[in-house]
């Protein structure tokens, strides 16, 4: 199975959002990556439901929603109504992660967990069978355009080992600092979804760049 590419809307031009959404519609991208930040869990505020509604209206590909918010349980049904296909919550923001994952699935979405750079992925072992996706943060969450953290390769390997050991499957998504220089090694190591913000939207030809990331 070939890997997926999910351009991050955070790096789009919000004054020309429909144009940038159409660009992604017309590209080889698989998903829209949608970053929701609350200014509490991360030191930045991105956007909320009104922008999600505009996205939903124009996007012709699944919405991969990454919640960087405290107490995400409060909003699970709202994000289902807003059209999320995958909903990822941060392990660091969930006291009852197992319950959160069940609630996401009960609302009809794929369940993802995002993991900060300092968090050991072995903490996921007891929910591994409940996961559709693990989003490995390869930068500290909050901003686009940061440098990739090299330790991420080890975390991919640890997740691959966990999958083999437990006989479970889930997507391994890499979020932050993905470039044309590192994407191939990430896929070869075991990544199945690549998020790309700056690499796509700062490119002179975003459509070609998305195609290159799909190679």
Contact present, 87 and 110 (Cβ < 8 Å): yes
Contact present, 191 and 2 (Cβ < 8 Å): no
203 DSSP assignment: S
Question: Closest separation between CB of residue 167 and ligand DX5, Å?
Answer: 30
* Contact set for ligand DX5, span 75-134 (CB under 6 A): none
Kindly tell me which of 141 and 190 has the beta carbon lying closer to ligand DX5. 141
Measured from the Cβ of residue 104, the count of other Cβ atoms closer than 10 Å reads 28
Partner from Zn ion, ligand DX5, none contacting 196, C-beta within 5 to 8 A by type: ligand DX5
- Alpha helical stretches, state H, the chain: 17-25, 49-58, 76-81, 97-106, 152-166, 183-189, 198-201, 206-214
Helix (H, G, I), strand (E, B) or coil at 147: coil
- Using the rule CB under 6 A, give the single segment among 6-14, 17-25, 100-108, 156-164 that binds ligand DX5: 6-14
Residue 57 tokens, joined: 């209206």
Binding residue (CB under 5 A) for Zn ion from 30, 35, 64, 132: 35
Among residues 58, 61, 18, 55, the alpha carbon closest in space to that of 35 is found at 55
Partner from Zn ion, ligand DX5, none contacting 144, C-beta within 5 to 8 A by type: ligand DX5
Instruction: State yes or no: residue 145 binds ligand DX5 (CB under 6 A).
Output: yes
Residue 29 tokens, joined: 């991208």
* Contact set for Zn ion, span 91-150 (CB under 5 A): none
Instruction: State yes or no: residue 63 binds ligand DX5 (CB under 6 A).
Output: no
- Using the rule CB under 6 A, give the single segment among 8-16, 50-58, 78-86, 103-111 that binds ligand DX5: 8-16
Report the C-alpha gap between 59 and 204 in whole angstroms: 22
List the catalytic residues: 35, 175
List residues binding Zn ion (CB under 5 A).
35, 66, 175
List residues binding ligand DX5 (CB under 6 A).
8, 10-11, 33, 35, 66, 139, 141-146, 175-178, 195-199
């Amino acid at each position: 199975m070939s890997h997926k590419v999910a351009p991050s809307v955070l790096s789009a031009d919000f004054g020309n959002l429909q144009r940038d959404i159409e660009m992604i519609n017309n590209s080889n991208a698989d998903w829209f990556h949608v970053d929701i930040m609350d200014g509490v869990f991360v030191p930045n505020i991105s956007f909320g439901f009104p922008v999600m509604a505009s996205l939903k209206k124009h996007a012709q590909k699944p919405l991969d929603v990454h919640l960087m918010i405290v107490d995400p349980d409060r909003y699970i049904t709202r994000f289902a109504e807003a059209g999320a296909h995958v909903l990822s919550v941060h392990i660091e923001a969930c006291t009852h992660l197992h319950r959160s994952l069940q609630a996401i699935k009960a609302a009809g979405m794929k369940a993802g967990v995002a993991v900060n750079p300092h968090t050991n992925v072995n903490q996921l072992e007891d929910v591994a069978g409940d996961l559709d996706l693990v989003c490995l943060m390869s930068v500290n969450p909050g901003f686009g355009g940061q440098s990739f953290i090299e330790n991420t390769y080890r975390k991919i390997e640890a997740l691959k080992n966990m999958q083999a050991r437990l006989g479970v499957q889930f997507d391994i998504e890499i979020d932050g600092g993905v470039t044309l220089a590192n994407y191939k090694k990430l896929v070869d190591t075991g990544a199945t979804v690549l998020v790309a913000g700056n690499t796509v939207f700062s490119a002179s030809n975003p459509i070609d760049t998305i195609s290159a990331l799909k190679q």
